[in-house]
Structure 1
Amino acid sequence: MTTIRTEIVIDALPEQVWAALTGFGSYGAWNPCVRRIDGNAGVNQILHIAIRFGWLPPISFRARIDCFSRDTIFGWRASFLFGFLEGRHWFELHPLDAGRTLFVHCETFSGVLASPFLALMSGLVRQSYEAMNRALETIVEEK
């Protein structure tokens, strides 16, 4: 198992960050990485997601929300390539002083194809998650 972890401090309350993070209908307008999410935010809900890593074409998949606590944590689990690669993707919101939020964006990869996938793609995945973090910061701080 390998985890890619990124983070950014956003000058907004966790509630404001949460609203943008769970406002799936607007993802296409601001999110360069997670291009689309169809479904409802809540425990055990099924999501249809389109994600894009840098210059690669979008990847569409189904995922199940496996952690969800309003204004705190939201994440899903998905399997790829007949279960040979699994991703557990999540976002954490930690309140900071002065109305700011530490936004943590992670994914843990497991399965027999996790090591080869990450050997080829970890840099691109990290860059894509960091681009999403910066875009989230911009969209939230503009409101």
Structure 2
Amino acid sequence: MKIETSINIRANKKDIWEVLMDFNEYSSWNPFIKSIKGIASIGKTLEITLPTMKFNPVVQVKKNEECFSWQGKLWIKGLFDGHHQFEIKEIDENNCLFIHREEFSGLLVPMLKKQLETDTRQGFEAMNKALKERAEKAQKNS
């Protein structure tokens, strides 16, 4: 199962990336991901807090100003796994498309499908809007 959301942001990819990767500030602006602790390097484990859960995914991809992703699991691999990805596609120098997606797999996905399609999708969209506001504000201040 896959959830994908996107939003146009009137900011350059550098400003969007800086907001996205400044984990220390998440609690001040992000309504979906309350906190991320750890180092954003491939193979490193992060500690992520959402409103309803905590988990420890492993960073899979980090391409500066383009893409950041992690692979997480609930308790044991194969039960409820997720590959979470943020992608920034430059439209022009001061406009980008931010794509926020996750692919879910595992035994619990069918039971959680409705919640994922509603609550999780709403969380992604809320984060996208908050990122847009913060990055556009940063763009104006630079």
SS, match of residue 46 in structure 1? coil
What fraction of aligned residue pairs are identical, expressed as a percent?
Answer: 31
Does residue 91 in structure 1 map to residue 86 in structure 2? yes
CA offsets per residue over residues 44-78 of structure 1, 9 Å max, x none? 111000012xxxxx311101001111000001011
For structure 2, the 5+ residue unaligned runs are none
Question: Residue type of the partner of 2:134?
Answer: I
What TM-score, normalized by structure 1, do the two folds share?
Answer: 0.92
- Give RMSD over aligned pairs: 1.1
What aligned pairs does 1:2-81 form with structure 2 within 5 A after superposition?
A: 2-52=1-51, 58-81=52-75
SS, match of residue 55 in structure 2? strand
Question: Residue type of the partner of 1:20?
Answer: V
Match of 2:113 in 1: 118
Bigger fraction of residues in strand? 1
Per the TM alignment, residue 137 of structure 1 is displaced from its structure 2 partner at its CA by: 0.4
Quote the Cα distance in structure 1 between the aligned partners of 2:70 and 2:83. 6
Choose the corresponding residue for 2:127, options 118, 132, 136: 132
Per the TM alignment, residue 98 of structure 1 is displaced from its structure 2 partner at its CA by: 4.7
Choose the corresponding residue for 1:106, options 101, 106, 112: 101
Question: Residue type of the partner of 2:84?
Answer: H
Provide the aligned length of Structure 1 versus Structure 2: 137
Per the TM alignment, residue 126 of structure 1 is displaced from its structure 2 partner at its CA by: 0.4
Question: Residue type of the partner of 1:130?
Answer: E
For structure 1, the 5+ residue unaligned runs are 53-57
What TM-score, normalized by structure 2, do the two folds share?
Answer: 0.92
Moved over 6 A (4+): none
